[in-house]
Structure 1
Amino acid sequence: MKVDRLLSIVIMLLNKKRITAKALADYFEVSIRTIQRDIEAINMAGIPIVSYRGQYGGYGLLENYKIDKNFLSDSEHKLLMVALEGINKAYEDKDLKNIIEKLTSIRSNNCSLNDSKILMDFSPWGFSQSLKNKIESIKKAIAEKKIAKFNYVDLNGKSTEREVEPGLIALKLNRWYLHGFCRLRQDFRLFKLTRIRDLVITDELFETKKNIPKLNFTFPSEEIKIKLKFDRRSLSKIDNYFDLESLNFNSDGYIYVTVSYPEDEWVYGMILSFGDWVEVIDPPHIKEIIKDKAKRIFEKYEKS
């Protein structure tokens, strides 16, 4: 949209001393002539932009032209910038960068992110280029309302071909998800991006469904209460799964935890990941499942 581009140009000029027409054209993916017309429009609106020639030439705002910096306090501005920078590490988006540019332009001289006591980084560990490419492809499919085709691998390792009308992408606990209407299941589904294979964005268009259900990250099955007994050596790892406030440091030297989870392979894997530092106290059937899995692991290595 032209108005958004004009505002973005002004903000970029507020944040930089000078910038060339080519740099602006490349950033907004328009022609240099379009940028020149934009500059003329901005000047006509009363914002003084000057054209400089020579090696360090380009467009710049008239010296001493300022924007009001008082509608956000330094602490409010700093917290907002820290949050946006953290999001930007996980989700690179031009609109988000424009917002950061705008907020940078109204930063007071006393406001610096270097002395912030809060750091936010929403990017997952080992953020891969392939995951980034998936996010970009799905973003484009959502914007253009195009069908996404892919193979989806479920928790049991079974792969199925899906055709999905993508609705949104979501970041939850450093994990990316696609929410959309699955034609195979004839319902809205949530897909974990790391389980999506052979993603193709087709040229087939779709119409947005009415009464789209609000995305709600809830457990897909009924929860069960599990009581676990941990060796104290597990403390270096236990806080990856449980709050310290929920731990019961018993006088017998062990740590007890009671939690509610949906019963699935993730729960079994989480328990097994602690090795001999954990014991299932309750319920009995979970105890038997872990015992059986541990036995099969032992037998596999005993044969090798």
Structure 2
Amino acid sequence: MKLERLISMIYKLLNNEVVSASMLAEEFQVSPRTIYRDIDVICAAGFPVVSYQGMNGGYGMMDGYKMDKSLLGSYDVHSLITVLRSLSTVFEDERAQGTIERLQTVGSEQQSPTLAVDLETHRTDHYALRELRSGITNHIVVHFDYVNNQNERTTRELEPVTLYFKYRNWYVYGFCRTRQDYREFRLSRMMNLSLTQESFLPHNEVPRETSLQNEEWQNQISDVVFRVAPEALAEALDHFHQAEKQFNEDGSMTMRISVYQPLQARWLRSFLLSLGSGVEVMKPRELRGILKEQLQQAILLYEEV
């Protein structure tokens, strides 16, 4: 029981700037005198506990101790280094590189890497990512041209809040001054990005990313079923790895995915058409008709060939 209390006290001290003896005594149901003796034991074990005097005084760990070897195992250290290296390459972040160097002193140099992270970021995107990161950190408005889902080109001014990587693409989320609302923008559709000379106040309360996860949205989800030929399996699996899958006797695969408004989903049509004769849509039949019409229009472009 005493050992468990001591371990719990150590983590309590690590996760809080200052903890009073009376608070520790109340939490662990012991007397303040017992807490004082426990603090002596923790100090004797080599943990740098600092005593703070005054009305709001108590105990805490010495600054900078949280990265000690006793708290991070080699697995944790090497995983952190791998992720930080990938990010520092994209953003050319000197602070991240400094953190990597400090972490390397904690981990075992002899351990072979067991994890690799590739953010699949094109070098041409590095500049935009660094500009957006600078805008977020320094609260500077960014200016750019954008092509939306309807293929409309607009000019935007954005107060960037956060960057994130999902579905193999980078996105920025922030307050769009053009639309006077919070919006998400995909990096690959942003052009002529630049930092302005105008700053903005930090966004203390940022609404969550707007989502269509409601009853109306759910009612507009439909299943799309298609058969993938053997020669197109790898590409289809890469794109629809979460689909329901069933192999057929001829080596083809039947896939089923749920799509929001599949007849209006241009991304879906584009990908299915990119597979050519390697895929055949079975359901819905209306989607078959749309794909047939687009193929016929494409053929008209090459009539003279």
TM-score (norm 2): 0.68
Residue identity over aligned pairs, in percent, reads: 25
Counterpart in 2 of 1:122?
A: 119
Displacement of 1:258: 0.4
Specify the code of the residue in structure 1 equivalent to 2:286. H
Structure 1 stretch displaced more, 180-189 or 230-239: 230-239
1:170 maps to which of 148, 164, 170: 164
Counterpart in 1 of 2:4?
A: none
Displacement of 1:128: 2.1
SS at match of 1:259: strand
Counterpart in 1 of 2:239?
A: 241
Counterpart in 2 of 1:107?
A: 107
- Change in Cα spacing, 1:104 to 1:270, as seen in structure 2 (3 Å) is same
Q: What is the alpha-carbon distance in structure 2 between the residues aligned to residue 139 and residue 245 of structure 1?
A: 34
- Change in Cα spacing, 1:73 to 1:200, as seen in structure 2 (3 Å) is closer
Q: What is the alpha-carbon distance in structure 2 between the residues aligned to residue 144 and residue 281 of structure 1?
A: 52
Structure 1 stretch displaced more, 208-217 or 71-80: 208-217
- Change in Cα spacing, 1:292 to 1:237, as seen in structure 2 (3 Å) is same
Counterpart in 2 of 1:226?
A: 224
- Change in Cα spacing, 1:97 to 1:232, as seen in structure 2 (3 Å) is same
Counterpart in 2 of 1:84?
A: 84
Counterpart in 1 of 2:267?
A: 266
SS at match of 1:79: helix
Residue 95 (1) aligns with residue 89 (2): no
Q: What is the alpha-carbon distance in structure 1 between the residues aligned to residue 243 and residue 140 of structure 2?
A: 47
Counterpart in 2 of 1:278?
A: 279
* Residues 165-206 of structure 1: CA deviation (Å, up to 9, x unaligned): 111122223311111111221111111122112222111222
Q: What is the alpha-carbon distance in structure 2 between the residues aligned to residue 227 and residue 276 of structure 1?
A: 16
2:130 maps to which of 124, 136, 145: 136
Displacement of 1:209: 4.1
Q: What is the alpha-carbon distance in structure 2 between the residues aligned to residue 74 and residue 180 of structure 1?
A: 37
- Structure 1 gap ranges (5+): 1-66
Counterpart in 1 of 2:149?
A: 155
Displacement of 1:154: 1.8
* Residues 141-176 of structure 1: CA deviation (Å, up to 9, x unaligned): 222222211111123432111111111122223311
- Change in Cα spacing, 1:244 to 1:233, as seen in structure 2 (3 Å) is farther
Specify the code of the residue in structure 2 equivalent to 1:203. Q
TM-score (norm 1): 0.68
CA RMSD of aligned residues (A): 2.6
SS at match of 2:268: helix
How many corresponding residue pairs? 232
Specify the code of the residue in structure 1 equivalent to 2:153. S
- Structure 2 gap ranges (5+): 1-66
Q: What is the alpha-carbon distance in structure 2 between the residues aligned to residue 73 and residue 161 of structure 1?
A: 49
SS at match of 2:301: helix
Kept after mapping to 2: 8 A contact 1:90/1:121:
no
Displacement of 1:75: 2.7
Structure 1 stretch displaced more, 167-176 or 278-287: 167-176
Bigger CA radius of gyration: 2
Specify the code of the residue in structure 2 equivalent to 1:242. F
